[in-house]
Amino acid sequence: MNKKIAVLGAGSWGTTLAILAARNGCRTLLWGHNREHMASLAQDRENKRYLPGPVFPENLSVTSDLAEVAGFCNLILVSVPSHAFKDTLLKLKAYLPDGIQIAWATKGFNSDNGSLLHKVVADIFSEQTPAALLSGPSFAAEVAADLPTAITIASPQPDFAALLADILHSERFRTYTNSDLIGVEVGGAVKNVMAIAAGIADGLGLGANTRAALITRGLNEIIRLGVKLGGKQETFMGLAGLGDLILTCTDNQSRNRRFGLALGQGKDRAEAIQEIGQEIEGISAAKETFLLAKKHGVDMPITEQTYKVLYEGLAPLEAVQNLLAREQKAES
């Protein structure tokens, strides 16, 4: 394949996506903000800190220099954590102001004001900039180990979605395209909040029935908010909605779920964060989702109780009791 792509973000997911593109024959450049870490990647030809195991294909190179990214190509796949999303794009724009095509695999909101990430892209570049989001049930380690995975590539521009699908798709990594960018964004960002809630419940030892109820009612909350923000209801029943929600609420590879488990088992927040040692996007997403729900008048009780545990010191068991004490109502 005679294509080039630059991946921004040298954590577990960015490294995996860069390896995938390179395995598919693309010339691939992986950028990370930490100069020393990138120098070690260049030397070791693997990312021992974030993705031990797969050795980089020969057509994958690394850099910590955004000017080099800009000179390499204009097709950018961003996989930095959400707190670094806006800043990274602002820095990139200084080098690559025109003709850019931006995809991202970040799951979260803009940490400045809680907006969806497509809004950040449109504000920094333009509404016309080709934009796409890659999301769905995909633990980096399993993808890197070539275990079968299916994800969604969402973009209002079908040609751009098809281009990305072409770059990443393989027998072991199936890509489905979708035009509902907003629905896919909301699904990926809010499932992390639900994964923390499910982890808390399991940490408290509340059992399988509780977990299933949280996933189902959590999906309901995601749909209510997502539809209000302009997403399509059917998107939430797909890979980037229900698929990713099931994955992260039920499997201990999820950092968000493990964080919730630790809280439910009585660990404090700082201790749990340190133990996990990687991004836990649901922590900021709990706040951003709670504020968005309030702003739009959307009832999101699981999100609200999770927010209170994380930001108001509410005891996990009390949060569960608050949910159980809600008045009886029709299922909707």
**Rounded to an integer, what distance in angstroms lies between the CA atom of residue 103 and that of residue 154?**
9
Q: Choose the contact partner of 248 out of ligand 13P, ligand NDP, none; CB within 5 to 8 A by kind.
A: ligand 13P
Answer yes or no whether residue 284 interacts with ligand 13P by CB under 6 A: no
Structure tokens at 199: 């982890």
**Residue 143: closest CA among 9, 236, 21, 255:** 21
**Residue 26: closest CA among 72, 89, 79, 68:** 72
Q: Which is nearer to ligand NDP, 250 or 278 (CB)?
A: 278
Distance of CA 301 to the CA centre of its chain: 22
Residue 198 neighbours by CB under 8 Å, 6+ apart: 211, 214, 215, 218, 249, 250, 257, 260
Answer yes or no whether residue 262 interacts with ligand 13P by CB under 6 A: no
Answer yes or no whether residue 15 interacts with ligand 13P by CB under 6 A: no
Minimum gap (Å) between residue 315 Cβ and ligand NDP: 27
Longest dimension (CA), the chain: 60
Answer yes or no whether residue 248 interacts with ligand 13P by CB under 6 A: yes
String of b and e for 234-256 (b: at least 16 CB within 10 Å)? ebbebbbbbbbbebbbbeeebbb
Q: Which is nearer to ligand NDP, 146 or 213 (CB)?
A: 146
Chain residues 52-91 in contact with ligand NDP, contact rule CB under 6 A:
79-82, 84, 88
191 among known catalytic residues: yes
The contact set with ligand NDP (CB under 6 A) reads: 9-14, 32-34, 37, 50, 79-82, 84, 88, 105-108, 138-140, 278-279, 281
> Which parts are annotated binding residues for NAD(+)?
9-14, 140, 255
For ligand 13P, the binding residues (CB under 6 A) are 107, 137-139, 192, 195, 244, 247-248, 254-256, 281
